[in-house]
């Protein structure tokens, strides 16, 4: 039991530690600049080593779960789960993360915002770790959005460049569409299954809302993993510094969509809709990405496009859902993470040391950068898929399950062979073209990169080979638990170093190699052809721009229509709405009928009763009428304002006479102040002394005033004609003195029972005051500025 | 408006109004009154003062920027709510203290502090608007 608790605290720490490191990163950079990478890399390295100890238990079929109470009142828990799938992802993220954290300070050496950058990077890693370890769908959503936000900061890190800002916003917009879909999907799933925990989900394929749930999660996964038609943000995300790309493309962010699909495939997978959609979109993405890669000459862009292709391939495999396909998902994911991170770091090193990333301007670097070349070669061989590399097994697993299936499988197989061949060709291009052949003069005199930048490619390149050679260990510790978690039933590893010359899969591999070499040799010609064809296409990137600009124009049009800036019309709208709000319920609910039944109209004279009032009460009423009359006949604005004050004061007197001293008091003061302020406003606005308005305006405003006044009066009369519910006032009368020690119920409610509301209201009063002052000062300074401008 | 009679009598009116505003504010818990109406009375007093003696004189008499008073009011009101921390009860639970002064017992309470906060918010906001409008008129 003791060990169990310890482990649980450890898992929670895994999710928190990167964020703590992220906060410390700027300090580390300030006080120990040369060692930034080495010090910060300790955190992911420690997480990696800590997670390694789970490899044994998990490969024995254990699932380690832990939870922290989050919102106990709603039964919401922050639950984490370590099984084969999440462990594979978490190990990849922390392992590659350690190498990247080591690499980044060397790559960005001397950058004045390096500390901040490392902070973003570690927070990004923490978000990704949390995402793959989370068991609660809501926690997963939180970490999912956090990866979007942190990647936004990373992609837009070089924020002085417009392209970087645009790419960051684009990535954020696209991935957030998916984030919202994910939230909706999570809530739907919670309604269907009654639980937030993914591990507690049953099979949802028979549920009535299955289609909607599937659509939500597919949108989430497709936007995150850059599937067609959401693929275009990923190449643009290349605006980020290279270490970000290496991380983002290999183990994090874009793999989150793949992870989500794999994680949910026991709950949602297996249906015709699932496999058809994943196969079609995955296949389209695979081919589009691979062709896109061949079109580029920029090494980084080539790798970015191949990531799209690889993500499409993974989505296809999840869609196939067979045992070998599922095993292939795990092997391919690991193989891809190794070689893609390594190649990105290699490209970064080339860029850093030679000064260019253009494949046509590079050549013969192998002599000057031998270690980099070794790393690149090892990674590229895995990407190409030669035996004794992890990439070979990935390919074998993909082909093995498909070659004897129905026609869909054969079709998928054809797409996969073509895709793999194209990807292999790109691997060769990236690893061979810059290093071998005749030496080309580069902008900088190339030399070997520092050790911190070499560690990543060498370690990861070697890892791809070591893992392949230790076939039995890899199969038992990584492949089996991971594939079992995706399938929901035990999967056995078929990995073996022995090459079976009689298997179709092997000969398909040979075919793939042949095609890859062919494409490699004809790369220049294919590039020209693709560019010619591509010029005709309207790309999704342009569609995105069109949609964004359309949105801005639409918002502008709506604003101009609703926010026309004419105060007079705003007031007319407000009061017209008030009149509607008063009369519609009165008519619909029969209020007027209850007050004045139509049947009684005959003897209406009986209803006209002379009110029984005291003489002084008559006098006050007369005062109000005189004030009102004066407002109507006033020729001068100031007279009208003062007359309105007289009328208001008379109303206050009526309140006083009929037992509402509080109300009367306030009304008095409001009348005084409104006369003063209105008079001041009038002089401020430099209005005419007289009110010149066309008769239509006067008629409109007068009608509105009468309608609103009549509506309020009628509503009050209806309210008073019914029985008054005194529950609340009884409660306040009874409790005011004993609980709140006050006899004035109005004040007690304001400052005690509903004090929190009052606090909000006085804040609003102050806020409104500040806003009014700001407007007044603006009016005052604007003419002064104009005068200064004219003078100068 | 700025007649001799008005100028002579204004200080008297203003003084009475200010005293009255404090009285109204403090008695509010048991009799008609309270911070809101007290603040309005005080703001009216300041408006009268500024009409009689000019905006600058009114600002000078106030010594503090009226908007700062409003801010202090919101702060005091929020702080009075926080006092309930010390009794380990929810936010804005009222606390009552009774001071024995010979024959009289004077109650002090967090709602009273709250009400004084409301007084300052209303007074500060309304008078700063009134003063700003007037100073615009002068310039």
Residues of B in contact with A677 (CB under 8 A): 129-130, 133
What's the longest Cα–Cα distance across chain A?
118
- The residue among A146 and B94 whose pLDDT is bigger is A146
Residues of B in contact with A765 (CB under 8 A): 70, 121-122, 125
A788 pLDDT band (50/70/90 cuts)?
low
Residues of A in contact with B51 (CB under 8 A): 676
Residues of B in contact with A772 (CB under 8 A): 129, 132
Nearest C-alpha neighbor of A233 from the set A299, A311, A287, A320: A311
Collect all residues with Cβ–Cβ distance below 8 Å to B33 and sequence separation of at least 6.
A662, A665, A744, A747, B23, B24, B25, B26, B27
Quick check: A784 pLDDT over 70?
Answer: no
Domain that holds residue B24: 4-135
Residues of A in contact with B78 (CB under 8 A): 759
What's the longest Cα–Cα distance across chain B?
59
Nearest CA in chain A to B77: A759
How many domains does the structure of chain B reveal?
Answer: 1
What is the percentage of chain A residues whose pLDDT exceeds 90?
Answer: 31
The interface residues of chain A toward chain B in range 716-745, judged by CB-CB distance below 8 A, are 740-744
Decide if A444 contacts A350 (C-beta within 8 A): no
Nearest C-alpha neighbor of A253 from the set A376, A115, A89, A117: A89
Collect all residues with Cβ–Cβ distance below 8 Å to A137 and sequence separation of at least 6.
A186, A189, A190, A196, A197, A198
Average pLDDT over residues A406-413: 78
How many CA within 13 A on the CB side of residue A342? 32
Average pLDDT over residues A154-177: 90
Decide if A188 contacts A212 (C-beta within 8 A): yes
Decide if A131 contacts A162 (C-beta within 8 A): no
Q: Say which of B29, B73, B126 has its CB closest to residue A748.
A: B29
Quick check: B30 pLDDT over 50?
Answer: yes
Residue range A667-689, pLDDT digits in tens: 988 888 888 888 888 777 777 77
Residues of B in contact with A755 (CB under 8 A): 81, 92, 94, 111, 114
How many CA within 13 A on the CB side of residue B33? 21
Decide if B111 contacts B94 (C-beta within 8 A): yes
- Alpha carbons A35 and A25: distance in angstroms, whole number: 11
Quick check: B139 pLDDT over 50?
Answer: no
Distances (CA, A) of A766 to A561, A596, A672, B78: 30, 45, 20, 14
What does the CA dihedral A716, A720, A725, A731 come to, rounded to 10 degrees? 80
Residues of B in contact with A777 (CB under 8 A): 132
Say yes or no for a CB contact (<8 Å) between A755 and B41: no
Q: How far is B106 from chain A (nearest CA, A)?
A: 13
Decide if A244 contacts A373 (C-beta within 8 A): no
Mean pLDDT of chain B: 87
What does the CA dihedral A323, A329, A332, A335 come to, rounded to 10 degrees? -110
- Alpha carbons A661 and A449: distance in angstroms, whole number: 85
User: Is the CB of A747 inside 8 Å of chain B's CB atoms?
Assistant: yes
Dihedral angle sign, alpha carbons of residues A279, A282, A285, A287: negative
Collect all residues with Cβ–Cβ distance below 8 Å to A453 and sequence separation of at least 6.
A103, A106, A107, A345, A348, A349, A352
* HEC sequence for A31-52: HCHHHHHHHHCHHHHHHHHHHH
Average pLDDT over residues A25-29: 87
Instruction: Return the residue in A766, A772, A787 with the most chain B beta carbons within 10 A, the one to mutate for interface testing.
Output: A766
Residues of B in contact with A750 (CB under 8 A): 34, 36, 118
Q: Say which of A748, A759, A770 has its CB closest to residue B81.
A: A759
Nearest CA in chain A to B78: A759
- Alpha carbons A537 and A706: distance in angstroms, whole number: 63
Decide if A207 contacts A269 (C-beta within 8 A): no
Residue with tokens 């052809």: A529
Q: How far is A783 from chain B (nearest CA, A)?
A: 12
Q: How far is B9 from chain A (nearest CA, A)?
A: 18
Decide if B81 contacts A756 (C-beta within 8 A): yes
Say if residue B2 is exposed, middle or buried (CB neighbours under 10 Å; 0-12, 13-18, 19+): exposed
Q: Say which of B43, B118, B130 has its CB closest to residue A762.
A: B118
Q: How far is A790 from chain B (nearest CA, A)?
A: 20
Say yes or no for a CB contact (<8 Å) between B37 and A666: yes
Quick check: A407 pLDDT over 80?
Answer: no
Nearest CA in chain A to B51: A676
- Backbone dihedral angles phi then psi of residue B30, each to the nearest 5 degrees: -120, -25
Say yes or no for a CB contact (<8 Å) between A741 and B29: yes
Say yes or no for a CB contact (<8 Å) between A765 and B78: no
* Helical ranges in A322-437 per DSSP H: 323-354, 370-384, 390-400, 407-432
Collect all residues with Cβ–Cβ distance below 8 Å to A781 and sequence separation of at least 6.
none
A596 pLDDT band (50/70/90 cuts)?
low
Say yes or no for a CB contact (<8 Å) between A755 and B107: no
Termini Cα distance of chain A? 82
- Alpha carbons B61 and A732: distance in angstroms, whole number: 41
Residues of A in contact with B34 (CB under 8 A): 662, 744, 746-747, 750-751
DSSP state, residue A477: I
Residues of A in contact with B52 (CB under 8 A): none
A790 pLDDT band (50/70/90 cuts)?
low
Tokens representing A2?
């003791």
Say yes or no for a CB contact (<8 Å) between B74 and A769: no
Q: How far is B48 from chain A (nearest CA, A)?
A: 9
Quick check: B125 pLDDT over 80?
Answer: yes
Residue range A537-556, pLDDT digits in tens: 557 778 888 888 999 999 99
A149 pLDDT band (50/70/90 cuts)?
very high
Residue range A107-129, pLDDT digits in tens: 988 888 888 899 999 999 999 99
Q: How far is A680 from chain B (nearest CA, A)?
A: 6
Say yes or no for a CB contact (<8 Å) between B37 and A680: no
Residues of B in contact with A744 (CB under 8 A): 28-34
B2 pLDDT band (50/70/90 cuts)?
low
The interface residues of chain A toward chain B in range 681-700, judged by CB-CB distance below 8 A, are 681, 683-684
Residue A94: per-residue pLDDT: 93
Kindly report whether the peptide bond that precedes residue A229 is cis, defined as omega within 30 degrees of 0.
Answer: yes
Residue A1: per-residue pLDDT: 33
Average pLDDT over residues A154-162: 89
Nearest CA in chain A to B44: A673
The interface residues of chain A toward chain B in range 309-348, judged by CB-CB distance below 8 A, are none
Counts of helices then strands in chain B (DSSP H, E): 5, 2
Quick check: A601 pLDDT over 70?
Answer: no
Say yes or no for a CB contact (<8 Å) between B111 and A751: yes
- Alpha carbons A643 and A623: distance in angstroms, whole number: 10
DSSP, collapsed to helix, strand or coil, labels residue A76 as: strand
Nearest CA in chain B to A779: B136
DSSP state, residue A749: I
- Alpha carbons A313 and A283: distance in angstroms, whole number: 7
Collect all residues with Cβ–Cβ distance below 8 Å to A476 and sequence separation of at least 6.
A59, A493
User: Is the CB of A758 inside 8 Å of chain B's CB atoms?
Assistant: yes
Residues of A in contact with B114 (CB under 8 A): 751, 755, 758-759
Nearest CA in chain B to A754: B92
Average pLDDT over residues B58-81: 91
Average pLDDT over residues A584-592: 80
Average pLDDT over residues A261-266: 91
Residue range A359-369, pLDDT digits in tens: 888 888 888 88
Rg of chain A (C-alpha set): 37
Say yes or no for a CB contact (<8 Å) between A759 and B78: yes
Say yes or no for a CB contact (<8 Å) between B77 and A669: no
Say yes or no for a CB contact (<8 Å) between B41 and A776: no
Quick check: A35 pLDDT over 80?
Answer: yes
Q: How many CB contacts within 8 angstroms connect chain A with chain B?
A: 143
Residue A272: per-residue pLDDT: 87
Say yes or no for a CB contact (<8 Å) between B73 and A763: no
Quick check: A295 pLDDT over 90?
Answer: no
- Backbone dihedral angles phi then psi of residue A78, each to the nearest 5 degrees: -90, 90
For A599, other C-beta atoms within 10 Å of its C-beta total 8
Collect all residues with Cβ–Cβ distance below 8 Å to A550 and sequence separation of at least 6.
none
Nearest CA in chain B to A670: B40
Q: Say which of A662, A666, A683 has its CB closest to residue B40.
A: A666
């Amino acid at each position: 039991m003791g060990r169990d608790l310890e482990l649980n605290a450890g898992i929670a720490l895994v999710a928190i530690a990167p964020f703590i490191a992220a906060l410390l990163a700027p300090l580390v950079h300030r006080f120990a600049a040369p060692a930034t990478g080495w010090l910060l890399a300790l955190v992911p390295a420690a997480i990696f080593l800590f997670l390694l100890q789970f490899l044994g238990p998990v490969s024995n079929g254990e699932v380690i779960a832990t939870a922290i109470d989050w919102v106990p009142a709603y039964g919401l828990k922050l639950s984490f789960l370590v099984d084969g799938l999440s462990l594979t992802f978490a190990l990849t993220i922390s392992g590659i993360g350690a190498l990247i954290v080591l690499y980044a300070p060397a790559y960005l050496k001397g950058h004045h915002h390096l500390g901040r950058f490392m902070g973003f990077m570690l927070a990004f890693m923490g978000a990704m770790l949390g995402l793959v370890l989370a068991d609660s769908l809501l926690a997963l959503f939180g970490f999912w959005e956090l990866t979007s936000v942190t990647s936004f900061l990373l992609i837009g890190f070089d924020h002085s460049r417009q392209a970087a800002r645009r790419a960051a916003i684009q990535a954020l917009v696209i991935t957030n569409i998916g984030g919202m879909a994910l939230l909706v999907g999570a809530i739907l799933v919670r309604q269907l299954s009654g639980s937030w925990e993914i591990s507690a989900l049953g099979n949802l394929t028979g549920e009535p809302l299955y289609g909607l749930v599937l659509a939500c999660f597919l949108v989430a996964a497709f936007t995150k993993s850059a599937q067609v038609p959401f693929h275009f943000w990923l190449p643009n995300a290349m605006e980020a510094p290279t270490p970000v790309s290496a991380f983002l493309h290999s183990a994090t962010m874009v793999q989150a969509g793949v992870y989500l699909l794999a994680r949910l495939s026991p709950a949602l997978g297996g249906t015709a809709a699932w496999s058809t959609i994943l196969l079609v979109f995955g296949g389209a993405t695979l081919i589009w990405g691979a062709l896109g890669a061949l079109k580029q000459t920029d090494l980084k862009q080539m790798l970015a496009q191949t990531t799209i292709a690889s993500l499409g391939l993974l989505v296809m495999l999840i869609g196939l859902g067979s045992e070998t396909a599922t095993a292939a998902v795990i092997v391919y994911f690991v193989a891809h993470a190794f070689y893609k991170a390594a190649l990105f770091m290699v490209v970064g090193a080339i860029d850093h040391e030679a000064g260019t990333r253009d494949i046509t301007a590079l050549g013969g670097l192998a002599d000057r950068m031998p270690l980099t070349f070794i790393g690149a070669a090892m990674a590229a061989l895995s990407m190409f898929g030669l035996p004794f590399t992890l990439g070979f097994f990935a390919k074998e697993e993909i082909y093995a399950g498909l070659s004897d299936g129905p026609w869909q499988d054969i079709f998928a197989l054809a797409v996969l062979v073509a895709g793999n061949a194209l990807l292999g060709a790109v691997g060769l291009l990236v690893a061979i073209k810059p290093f071998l052949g005749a030496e080309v003069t580069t902008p900088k005199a190339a030399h070997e990169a520092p050790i911190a930048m070499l560690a990543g490619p060498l370690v990861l390149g070697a890892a791809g080979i070591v893992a392949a050679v230790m076939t039995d260990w890899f199969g038992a510790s990584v492949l089996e638990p991971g594939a079992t978690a995706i399938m929901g039933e035990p999967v056995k590893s078929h990995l073996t170093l022995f090459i079976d010359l009689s298997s179709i899969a092997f000969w398909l591999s040979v075919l793939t190699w042949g095609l890859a070499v062919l494409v490699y040799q004809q790369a220049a010609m294919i590039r020209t052809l693709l560019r010619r064809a591509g010029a005709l296409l309207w790309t999704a990137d342009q569609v995105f721009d069109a949609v964004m600009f359309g949105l801005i124009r639409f918002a502008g049009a709506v604003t101009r229509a609703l926010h026309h800036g004419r105060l007079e019309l705003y007031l007319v709208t407000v009061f017209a709405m008030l009149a509607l709000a008063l009369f519609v319920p009165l008519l619909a609910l029969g209020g007027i009928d209850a007050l004045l039944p139509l049947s009684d109209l005959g003897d209406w004279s009986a209803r006209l009763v002379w009110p029984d009032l005291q003489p002084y009460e008559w006098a006050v009423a007369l005062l109000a009428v005189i004030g009102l009359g004066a407002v109507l006949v006033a020729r001068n604005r100031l007279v009208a304002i003062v007359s309105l004050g007289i009328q208001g004061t008379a109303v206050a007197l009526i309140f006083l006479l009929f037992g509402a001293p509080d109300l009367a008091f306030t009304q008095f003061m409001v009348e005084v102040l409104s006369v003063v302020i209105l008079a001041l406003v009038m002089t401020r606005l430099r209005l005419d002394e007289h009110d010149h308005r066309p008769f239509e305006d006067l008629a409109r405003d007068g009608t509105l005033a009468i309608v609103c006044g009549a509506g309020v009066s009628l509503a009050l009369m209806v309210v008073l004609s019914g029985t008054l519910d005194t529950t609340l006032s009884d409660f306040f009368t009874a409790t005011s003195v004993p609980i709140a020690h006050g006899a004035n119920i109005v004040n007690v409610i304001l400052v005690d029972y509903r004090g929190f509301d009052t606090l909000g209201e006085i804040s609003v009063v102050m806020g409104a005051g500040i806003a009014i002052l700001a407007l007044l000062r603006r009016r005052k300074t604007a003419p002064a500025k104009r005068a200064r401008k004219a003078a100068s | 408006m700025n007649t001799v009679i008005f100028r002579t009598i204004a200080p008297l009116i203003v003084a009475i109004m200010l005293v009255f505003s404090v009285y109204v504010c403090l008695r509010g818990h048991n009799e008609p009154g309270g911070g809101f109406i007290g603040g309005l009375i005080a703001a009216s007093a300041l408006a009268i003062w500024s009409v009689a003696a000019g905006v600058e004189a009114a600002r000078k008499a106030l010594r503090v920027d009226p908007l700062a008073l409003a801010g202090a009011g919101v702060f005091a009101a929020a702080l009075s709510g926080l006092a309930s921390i010390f009794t380990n009860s929810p936010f804005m639970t009222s606390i009552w203290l009774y001071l024995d002064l010979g024959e009289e017992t004077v109650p002090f309470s967090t709602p009273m502090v709250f009400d004084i906060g409301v007084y300052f918010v209303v007074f500060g906001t309304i008078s700063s608007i009134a003063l700003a409008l007037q100073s615009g008129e002068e310039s």
